[in-house]
Every structure is written in structure tokens, then in C-alpha cells.
């Protein structure tokens, strides 16, 4: 059973930065692509970023491109989301996700992911 645990959320002023972490366990972490999603109150869960099993390919939602960076450390079974220049509209619960199956290209839709963490709240004040 794959387990994911996010950390690093909090309250930050607009323009500030946060770094989210996701600890993974339960299978060979380095074999699988990973993703970050977020869900604001009253809205659907949306894609934020994803990266390939070796970190060589990254994908971002247009809304975060140039501000967020996804990365991973396969030796530590960790995936990260560095968030800079935060905006109030970035306020949401952020989730780390992993797919059941391997793929050549990371998925960007929530339905393609089978394992989810409990989420970490990010609040950006104006």
C-alpha cells in the first residue's frame, strides 16, 4: 500500500514563498511519476505540477508556471513543491499524488492518480 504524507503548508503573505514536501512509502518510489494538485474551497481539485520518475520531465499548470518548481529526491523517497511569488488565489489544500501504473509521460488529471496524501493547507493573505 502506497502512503503519502505532505508537510510544509502554512500562512504566508502575498509575494512570499513556501516549500511543500511529500514523503512516500510502500513501493519503489523511483519507478513512478508524481504529481501535486490543489483544491480550493468550493472548487474542484486541479492539477498543479507533475514530474517524471527520474525528474527529467516536468509539467506545470499555466497558473503556476514560472513561480512553482516541482522536484524529487529518489534516495529519500521525497517529492517537493517550491512555491514562490505566492498569490491569494494560490490558497488551497495541496495534495501529493501517485499513480498506480507507470507511464512514459506524467499524468495531469486527478483521475489518473490512485494514491493521495491527506493534504496540507496553504493560505496566502493579501
CA distance 76 to 23: 8
Q: What is the pLDDT of residues 79-95, one digit of tens each?
A: 999 999 999 999 999 99
User: What confidence score (pLDDT) does residue 34 get?
Assistant: 96
Among 28-32, 34-38, 82-86, where is mean pLDDT lowest?
A: 28-32
> Over 90: is that where the pLDDT of 6 sits?
yes
- Closest by CA to 57, choosing from 119, 118, 108, is 108
Q: Which three cell numbers stand for residue 2?
A: 502506497
Q: Any idea what the Cα angle at residue 29 is, between residues 23 and 35, rounded to 5°?
A: 65
Residue 22 Ramachandran class (φ > 0 left, ψ -120 to 50 alpha, else beta)? beta
C-beta separation of 6 from 98 below 8 A? no
Range 64-75 average pLDDT: 97
pLDDT range class, residue 73, cuts 50, 70, 90:
very high
Q: How far apart, in Å, do the first and last CA atoms of the chain sit?
A: 40
In degrees and rounded to multiples of 5, residue 21 shows phi and psi of: -125, 150
Average model confidence (pLDDT) across the chain: 96
Amino acid at each position: 500500500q502506497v502512503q503519502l504524507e505532505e508537510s510544509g503548508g502554512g500562512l504566508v503573505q502575498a509575494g512570499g514563498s513556501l516549500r511543500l514536501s511529500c514523503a512516500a512509502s510502500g513501493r519503489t518510489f523511483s519507478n513512478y511519476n508524481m504529481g501535486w494538485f490543489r483544491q480550493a474551497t468550493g472548487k474542484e481539485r486541479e492539477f498543479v505540477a507533475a514530474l517524471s520518475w527520474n525528474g527529467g520531465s516536468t509539467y506545470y499548470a499555466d497558473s503556476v508556471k514560472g513561480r512553482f518548481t516541482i522536484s524529487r529526491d529518489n534516495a529519500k523517497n521525497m517529492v517537493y513543491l517550491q512555491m514562490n511569488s505566492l498569490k491569494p488565489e494560490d490558497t488551497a489544500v495541496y495534495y501529493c499524488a501517485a499513480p498506480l501504473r507507470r507511464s512514459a509521460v506524467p499524468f495531469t488529471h486527478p483521475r489518473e492518480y490512485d494514491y493521495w496524501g491527506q493534504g496540507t493547507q496553504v493560505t496566502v493573505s493579501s
